[in-house]
Amino acid sequence: MTSKAHALAREELIRALTAYTGIATDDGAADGTTIVDANLDGKNDFITEKTIIIMSGPAAYEDKGAQSFVSAHPATITLQGTGFSAQIVAGTIYRILNISSVEIDVANIKTVVDAIKTQTDKIATKMLFSMDFWSVAQATAQITTTPEVVALPSVTPSLPNGVTITRAIAMMKFRKVSNGDAAANYIDTTTGGPHDPALQVDKAAAGYIDALLLPDTFLRVEGDGIEGGDVLVGDTDIKVKVESGVATTFQLGDDLRCLATTLDLYDIQVGLRIRYSV
């Protein structure tokens, strides 16, 4: 039960906060969303976003935030949301308090949050993230004078949920390359050709595509020599062959051959560099 002292304190608080006390001059909307008061005709808008409290009638002591105010005759206050529980008819006493309502505050916060989200959504589509994924190591791979495909390991990327892959490239690294012939040796694209050997990738046995072409005289090693390895980075977007949780398979293909005897690669890994947006 509300005590008399509490009721008096509430009345004093309302009185202290009151900017205007008015009486509706005409019936407002039937759904309780407007107050009509011709006494406010032509007045400046000191009402929007303030709290309106009803002091008489069926909706007495209900409060709502003022969404807007139109001073043209008859001056009308439109309430936030669904308005009051009953129509505000002519003769209803109301007060305008010098505080914003919770509804108005929540609506303003939502507006700000929505604006921030709009901007961050724009940023998200421009910000790209990158992840590298590497295969297990393969001990050796041999290139001979017979045009053939050289099998390489596969890579299964694991990306965050809900991302969009914007670009992917293939990579390959090896520790060293040795020449099994007494003369200089290298990738040969002209004998019996021309050929277009390449580092190639595939997904779900749909067909290999080129990720990095290997030009003529590539991987040149002098007679019986050994050269240090390198990291090869593809320049072709292969995102069509990349999917989180699905293996991307690799090979050196399209009639790959060397000029003489063999070229041997050691300690090989292949990888994917994936750019994505969230």
- Read off the pLDDT of residues 124-144 as tens digits, 9 standing for 90 and up: 556 789 999 999 999 999 999
pLDDT of residue 91: 96
Closest by CA position to 135, among listed 239, 268, 13? 268
Residues 6+ apart with CB under 8 A from 248: 154, 155, 156, 157, 201, 202, 203, 238, 241, 242, 272
pLDDT of residue 253: 92
Average pLDDT over residues 25-48: 96
pLDDT of residue 4: 53
Residues in the chain, total:
278
CA atoms of 170 and 233, how far apart (whole Å): 6
Closest by CA position to 212, among listed 187, 246, 176, 191? 187
pLDDT of residue 98: 85
Tell me whether the CATH fold assigned to 4-105 matches the one assigned to 129-277: no
User: What residue segments make up the domains of the chain, in order of their start?
Assistant: 4-105, 129-277
CA atoms of 44 and 184, how far apart (whole Å): 93
CA atoms of 131 and 276, how far apart (whole Å): 8
According to DSSP, residue 261 is labeled S
Share of the chain above pLDDT 90, in %: 75
Q: What is the CATH number of domain 129-277?
A: 2.60.120.1200
pLDDT of residue 105: 61
pLDDT of residue 168: 97
Please say if the pLDDT value at position 1 is more than 50.
no
Please say if the pLDDT value at position 8 is more than 60.
no
Please say if the pLDDT value at position 83 is more than 80.
yes
Average pLDDT over residues 152-181: 96
Token match 């290997």: residue?
214
Closest by CA position to 64, among listed 91, 44, 94? 94
Distances 228 to 215, 219, 224 between C-alpha atoms, Å: 19, 10, 14
Residues 6+ apart with CB under 8 A from 123: none
CA atoms of 184 and 190, how far apart (whole Å): 16
Q: Global pTM?
A: 0.57
Is residue 80 a contact partner of residue 66, using CB atoms and an 8 Å limit?
Answer: yes
Is residue 158 a contact partner of residue 276, using CB atoms and an 8 Å limit?
Answer: no
Categorise residue 121: left if φ over 0, alpha if ψ from -120 to 50, beta otherwise: alpha
Longest dimension (CA), the chain: 111
pLDDT of residue 5: 54
For 182, other C-beta atoms within 10 Å of its C-beta total 12
Fold for 4-105, please state it: Thrombin, subunit H (2.40.10)
Q: Give the pair of three-digit tokens for residue 61.
A: 């002591």
